[in-house]
Amino acid sequence: MHEPHKTEFLGHDAIFPLLLKMGIPAAIGMLVNALYNVVDTIFVGQGVGPLAIAALSIAFPIQMIVSAVAQGLGVGTASIVSRRLGERRTEDAAVAIGTAYTAVLLVTALLIALLFAFMRPILAFFGASDAVMPLALEYTGIVAAGFFFFSMSMCASNLVRAEGNAKASMFGMLIGALLNTVLDPIFIFGFGLGVKGAAIATVISQMVSCAYLFSIYFRGKSHVPIKRSHLRIRPRVLGDSAILGTPAFIQSAGMSLLALIINNSLGHYGGDNAITTYGMTHKVLMIIIMPILGIVQGFQPIAGYNYGARNFGRVRASLRTALLTSFTVSLAGYAIMMLAPRFAVSLFLNDPVLIASSARVLRIMALFIPLAAIQITGSVYFQAVGKRGESFLLGLSRQYLILIPIIVVLPRFIGVDGVWFAFPLADLIASSLTITLLVREVRRLGTEHAKLPAAAE
């Protein structure tokens, strides 16, 4: 068939240039995705004040729940698509993509309905104080209306990249982020709409991003043509996608649960200013993490395709290259956070006292960020090759099994600092677990690779 040949470069191009070809657009796309919330926070912080940043921090975990659904099904289906293309089963790849889009659309509709029915108690549950609640309601009510575009574009970004079209995935996210950056000051300052303006700018930008990504299918630019008959749910395919995407879902949902616990803990031990500090430092850290995520998301189709093609030596080589690259990228961000933390947080606020305290917090939270690069790469690798057990364990480990328990316990002994020191401790423990699993996996790949010549004969 003609279509599978379009993806064969994943199986024979030189690995490091291929990783850059796939990973750099993905990294830009992931970074751009993070900038949606960062840009909103910068403009509302400068235009409205610290309480507005707290309001956006309260709304963030709700957005992450929607993101968790889209990322989970998108990443899980991307693993299937990459391997089916490696096996030259294009029709099966199209069926998986159609199932993912239909499922994301239906689940997002349910989440939007629940949010509008119980918005005030949900925001209070996520830590909104009486002072923050009006701004949180104003922002969330508008952003929630655009969740359809947000979830579908996040899912599409993963699936377009899975077929080797990394640049289109990048452009889809880049268009939205650039538009958001332009519209934010217009709506916030020009029209004087405050947090409401930030929300409107975000929804319009996500709408444009979604339209571009889906135009790839309508314009016949996809390597996996999607027909109307593909847009229905196949339970078995959905089940496989959901299981494979569980680590990605857990990581995103874990961020939501984590934000819930952190906001309530910070509200108890440090008040609204501590929530504002977390809102700023978390977004700065996401700017470091997103390029790493992009590199390993670009690595995913390479690993999945070659694993499906039983090219285990190439899988092992691509894993090694991805680990070194993501670790090196993390060192650049780490250096900035350690050397210039005041500059990073000063983008959001003009309050010198809050800037000083937030700079200290940023240094603490970023202490073992380079090790987090290893953990992220390992988790994505096991997703890509369909290793459900390892993938599930690594998806659970950092947020659920390690970070949340530390955040619950440590502040009881050292107060609000317990929240901040929980992050580097979790990075250290989770990366140690990941390294253990990866060493075992690399040895297994070497054994499987050694068997191939005999099997071929």
Give the percent of the chain with pLDDT over 70: 95
Query: What average pLDDT score do residues 361-376 get?
Result: 91
- Largest Cα–Cα separation, the chain: 73
Query: What average pLDDT score do residues 414-433 get?
Result: 93
Residue 239 confidence (pLDDT) above 50: yes
Find how far residue 447's CA is from the centre of its chain. 33
Give residue 392's pLDDT: 77
Q: pLDDT tens across 309-320, in order?
A: 888 888 888 899
Give residue 33's pLDDT: 65
Residue 396 confidence (pLDDT) above 90: no
Confidence of residue 1 (pLDDT cuts 50, 70, 90): very low
Q: Is residue 262 part of a domain?
A: yes
Q: pLDDT tens across 240-291, in order?
A: 888 888 877 877 777 778 888 888 898 888 888 888 888 888 888 888 888 8
Give residue 7's pLDDT: 62
Confidence of residue 155 (pLDDT cuts 50, 70, 90): very high
Q: What is the pTM of this model?
A: 0.69
Give residue 209's pLDDT: 92
Element housing 232 (H / E): none
Residue 3 confidence (pLDDT) above 80: no
CA distance 432 to 100: 33
Give residue 116's pLDDT: 94
Q: Judge whether 138 and 195 are in contact, CB under 8 Å.
A: yes
Query: What average pLDDT score do residues 1-17 get?
Result: 67
* The token pair that represents 243 in the structure block: 């299981």
Query: What average pLDDT score do residues 96-110 get?
Result: 94
Q: Give the number of other Cβ atoms within 10 Å of residue 179's Cβ.
A: 18
Looking at the structure of the chain, the number of domains it has is 1
Burial environment of residue 292 by CB neighbours within 10 A (0 to 12, 13 to 18, 19 or more): buried
Q: Name the packing angle between helices 166-185 and 195-218 (round to 10°).
A: 150
Confidence of residue 406 (pLDDT cuts 50, 70, 90): very high
Query: What average pLDDT score do residues 293-306 get?
Result: 84
Q: Is residue 1 part of a domain?
A: no
* The token pair that represents 10 in the structure block: 């994943």
Query: What average pLDDT score do residues 430-442 get?
Result: 91
- Per the prediction, the chain carries an average pLDDT of 85
CA distance 210 to 217: 12
Residue identified by tokens 């003009």 is: 350
Q: pLDDT tens across 109-154, in order?
A: 999 999 999 999 999 988 888 888 999 999 999 999 999 999 999 9
Q: Which amino acid is at 173?
A: M
Torsion of CA 253, 106, 384, 170, to 10 degrees: -90
CA distance 207 to 263: 29
Confidence of residue 176 (pLDDT cuts 50, 70, 90): confident
Give residue 455's pLDDT: 42
* The token pair that represents 321 in the structure block: 């290259």
Residue identified by tokens 């649960």 is: 257
Residue 456 confidence (pLDDT) above 60: no
CA distance 23 to 35: 18
Question: Higher pLDDT residue, 145 or 392?
Answer: 145
Q: Is residue 457 part of a domain?
A: no
* The token pair that represents 448 in the structure block: 């499987």
Weakest mean pLDDT among 84-93, 138-147, 368-377: 84-93
* The token pair that represents 42 in the structure block: 């910068």
Q: Judge whether 431 and 374 are in contact, CB under 8 Å.
A: yes
Report the SS3 class of residue 165: coil
Q: Is residue 99 part of a domain?
A: yes
Q: Is residue 4 part of a domain?
A: no
Residue 5 confidence (pLDDT) above 70: no
Q: Is residue 412 part of a domain?
A: yes
Q: pLDDT tens across 190-203, in order?
A: 898 888 998 999 89
Give residue 323's pLDDT: 93
Alpha helices in 87-234 (DSSP H): 90-117, 119-125, 133-145, 147-162, 166-185, 195-218
Weakest mean pLDDT among 236-240, 308-312, 409-413: 308-312
Residue identified by tokens 């709506």 is: 187
Q: Is residue 81 part of a domain?
A: yes
Report the SS3 class of residue 309: coil
Question: Higher pLDDT residue, 51 or 148?
Answer: 148
Residue 236 confidence (pLDDT) above 50: yes
Which of 126, 107, 2 minimizes the C-alpha distance to 55? 126
CA distance 366 to 357: 15
Weakest mean pLDDT among 139-148, 205-214, 291-300: 291-300
Domain span including residue 141: 9-451
CB contact burial 304-336 (16+ within 10 A = b; e otherwise) = bbbbbbebbebbbbbbebbbebbbebbeebbee
Number of separate helices (H) and strands (E) present in the chain: 20, 0
